[in-house]
Amino acid sequence: MRNLRVLVVDDSAFMRKVISDILTKDPQIEVVDRARNGEECIAKVKELKPDVVTLDIEMPVMDGLSALEILMKEHPLPVVMLSSLTREGADATIRALELGAFDFIAKTSGPISLDIQKVAEEIVEKVKAAGMARHRFNRWPLAAHRSPLHTRSLPQPELQPSRLNKPEPERTDASGSKPPSQESSKVHAGGPANKLVAIGTSTGGPKALQTVLTSLPAHFPAAVVIVQHMPPGFTQSLARRLDTLCAIRVVEAVDGQPLEAGTAYIAPGGYHMEIVQRSSGQLVISLNQQEPRGGHRPSVDVMFESISHLKNVEKWAVIMTGMGKDGTNGLRQMKEMDQVTSIIEHESSCVVYGMPRSAIQAGLADKVVPLEKIAETLVQLVN
């Protein structure tokens, strides 16, 4: 099998060298060249035809988002973004995923991360996963699939170096433990939820969630709880972005928050999310920072297992694109303890077929449908 050919793009000579060194330590990866900005990136992609590109967001001449948009239109291939851990960096990352980036890696300490070796294993893992997905890579940004009736415009993130380097203030609620969810003025179904849709996803998930959630009607009669594998600092940007695009309300989950129909709750990065039931029957979010499960926090298994204990609640479980097998054990417990209908994404539409394949091979799939049919299936089942 030939080596995976990678183009490394970063305006920092130090970062270009370190990322290249990290990748070439793997015998299956060959760094074919390096580029300093978006313009060089596009030219070298045309010339060298790499399998995967690692692409910094903040660069002079042409930034990463502008280069990514051109690549997805003219030379679609898997792109792994490198992003800073700031509010602006997170917003830009979510935009990159929407434009068609395969995945992203959070720089540990700003644009020039001297300790980038901390995420060396993650860099190699995600680049190799991108390479495995290159033959099924979807050339069209998923933004093209959403209905204009369900969208509102969102200003694009401004890539200002002085702001990208500024750390985001720590966010806490009145108890000092978690940030309050963003408020939304949307009209939604409202009322306590006795119908619950639980969605688990990983690589490729932000685009997949956009496709599903933007297709749900404003008065969708169930609450939707979501685990998307993401590090801290990015899930709030994802929720904020989806909320601008969807007819339903989308928020980052808050500890102690009651579930309402017509609202989607995304587990915060770095926190497990469980759904618990009060004596009144009301469903409430419970967040914790217990040990990662299978390397993940939040974990789909943890969320699914908590839902298995809920009584007198109609339940639907969805597993979509992602590496690994997170969600399979939790779905098995849900089926053992209560009636639940599972919807698994079909291989044909997955960016990475790991999590769906695991659930299907375990015999836990009730319905296997392509991504663009998941929302339609949910609406039929929930109504």
**Cα Rg, the chain, nearest whole Å:** 20
Whether 243 is a known active-site residue: answer no
**In sequence order, which residues have a C-beta less than 8 Å from that of residue 373 and are 6 or more positions away?**
none
Whole-number Å distance between alpha carbons of 361 and 349: 17
Q: What is the full DSSP assignment across 70-84?
A: HHHHHS---EEEEE-
Omega within 30 of 0 (cis) for the link into 298: yes
Per annotation, catalytic residue among 188, 229, 272, 296 = 229
Q: How far apart are CA 263 and CA 204, in angstroms?
A: 22
- On the 0-12 / 13-18 / 19+ scale of CB atoms within 10 A, 145 is middle
Indicate the SS3 state at residue 190.
coil
Active-site residue (options: 20, 83, 181, 202): 202
The tokens for 358 are 């695991």
Q: Does residue 202 have an active-site annotation?
A: yes
Torsion of CA 111, 116, 121, 122, to 10 degrees: -20
Give the sheet arrangement for strand 195-201, strand by strand: 249-252, 263-266, 223-228, 195-201, 314-319, 341-345, 367-369
- At 227, is the secondary structure helix, strand, or coil? strand
Beta bridge partners of 7: 33, 53
**HEC assignment per residue over 347-380:** HHHCCCEHHHHHHHHCCCCCEEECHHHHHHHHHH
Q: Virtual CA dihedral for 134, 138, 142, 144, nearest 10 degrees?
A: 140
- Residue 106 identity (one-letter amino acid): A
SS3 at position 317? strand
Residue with token string 């890696």: 105
Annotated catalytic residue within 306, 326, 346, 358: 326
Active site residue 348: no
The residues that are catalytic are 202, 229, 326
